[in-house]
Amino acid sequence: MASKGDIQATSISAATSNVVIAQPVRLKGIILAGLATSGVVQLKTTSATGDTLFEAAVPAGDITSLNIPEDGILFPQGLYVSTFTVSKATLLTDKYSGPNLIGQNG
């Protein structure tokens, strides 16, 4: 299977409602590390109160890895975190492609 583009990893280790990636970007995968209790990560576009494009739950004390098929999930106006009740999240995205990201990886 051929790679469609460069992959970039961005780690989040504390709850935040700030922008994680300001540019348009595609989420290709995510690795989530749970706490002693189950947790949730909610990713939005536009702002921390914008449209929810991805949400995942993590069982207590577990590590969850998700690969998103095909072109991933496009966050057209940046990637923001809303709910973050896990220990750590590593976002696997395409390279930060700037404001003209449409269709395939740019």
- 67 in a structural domain: yes
CATH code (residue 20): 2.60.120
pLDDT tens-digit map of 27-51: 999 999 999 999 999 999 988 888 9
- Total number of domains constituting the chain: 1
CB atoms within 10 A of CB 51: 12
Closest of 34, 1, 77, 26 to residue 10, by C-alpha:
26
pLDDT for position 102: 45
pLDDT for position 97: 52
pTM: 0.80
- 1 in a structural domain: no
- 103 in a structural domain: no
State the Cα torsion 66-20-44-105 to the nearest 10°. -60
- 36 in a structural domain: yes
Question: How far is CA 9 from each of CA 1, 20, 30, 36, 41, rounded to the nearest angstrom?
Answer: 20, 12, 9, 25, 16
pLDDT for position 16: 61
**pLDDT lower than 50: segments of the chain:** 1-2, 98-106
- 102 in a structural domain: no
pLDDT for position 12: 86
CB atoms within 10 A of CB 75: 26
Domain with 21, as residue range(s), is 7-94
